[in-house]
Amino acid sequence: MKLIKHCLLGASLALSATTTQAAEFINVLTGGTSGVYYPLGVAMSQLYGKEIPDARVQVQATRASVENLTLLQKGRGEIGFALADSVADAWNGVEEAGFNAPLKKLRAVGATYSNYIQIVARADSGISSLEDLKGKRVSVGAPRSGTELNARAIFQAAGLEYDDFERTEYLPFGESVELMKNRQLDATLQSAGLGMAAFRDLASHAPVVFIPIPAELVAGIGNDAYRPGVIPAGTYTGQDSDVPTVAISNLLITHDKVSDETAYQMAKQVYENLPALRNAHNAANGIDPAQATNGLPLPLHAGAERYFREKGLIQ
Residues 238, 131, single domain; the answer is: yes
Mean pLDDT of 35-44: 95
Residues 131, 216, single domain; the answer is: yes
Is 99 a domain residue? yes
| Residue 20 confidence (pLDDT) above 80 | no
User: Which of 195, 223, 248 finishes a domain?
Assistant: 248
Is 10 a domain residue? no
What residues form DSSP beta bridges with 210?
120
User: Which of 208, 226, 248 finishes a domain?
Assistant: 248
Is 66 a domain residue? yes
Q: What domain range is 75 assigned to?
A: 22-113+250-310
Residues 238, 275, single domain; the answer is: no
Q: Check residue 63 and report its DSSP letter.
A: S
State the pLDDT at residue 23.
Answer: 74
Name the average pLDDT for the chain.
92
Mean pLDDT of 31-36: 87
Helix (H) or strand (E) holding 82: strand 79-83
User: Model pTM?
Assistant: 0.83
Residues 256, 108, single domain; the answer is: yes
Amino acid at 129: S
Given pLDDT bands bounded at 50, 70 and 90, which one contains residue 16? Answer: very low
Is 39 a domain residue? yes
Which tens digit of pLDDT belongs to each residue from 136-178? 999 999 888 889 999 999 999 999 999 999 999 999 888 999 9
| Residue 91 confidence (pLDDT) above 60 | yes
Given pLDDT bands bounded at 50, 70 and 90, which one contains residue 223? Answer: confident
Residues 131, 219, single domain; the answer is: yes
Which tens digit of pLDDT belongs to each residue from 92-139? 999 988 899 999 999 999 999 999 999 999 999 999 999 999 999 999
Mean pLDDT of 44-49: 98
Residues 256, 242, single domain; the answer is: no
Given pLDDT bands bounded at 50, 70 and 90, which one contains residue 10? Answer: very low
Residues 27, 87, single domain; the answer is: yes
Is 80 a domain residue? yes
Is 163 a domain residue? yes
Is 11 a domain residue? no
Is 266 a domain residue? yes
User: Which of 221, 248, 275 finishes a domain?
Assistant: 248
Phi-psi region of 262 (alpha: psi -120 to 50; beta: other; left: phi over 0): alpha
State the pLDDT at residue 274.
Answer: 98
- Percent of the chain exceeding pLDDT 90 equals 83
Residues 200, 212, single domain; the answer is: yes
189-200 residues labelled b (16+ CB within 10 A) or e (exposed): bbbbbbbbbbbe
Given pLDDT bands bounded at 50, 70 and 90, which one contains residue 9? Answer: very low
Residues 238, 228, single domain; the answer is: yes
Q: Are strands 137-139 and 79-83 parallel, antiparallel or unpaired?
A: unpaired
Q: How far apart are the first and last CA of the chain?
A: 61
- Percent of the chain exceeding pLDDT 70 equals 93
Residues 174, 227, single domain; the answer is: yes
Residues 299, 201, single domain; the answer is: no
State the pLDDT at residue 310.
Answer: 97
State the pLDDT at residue 22.
Answer: 58
CATH code, domain with 215: 3.40.190.10
Residues 224, 259, single domain; the answer is: no
Mean pLDDT of 227-234: 96
Q: How many domains are contained in the chain?
A: 2
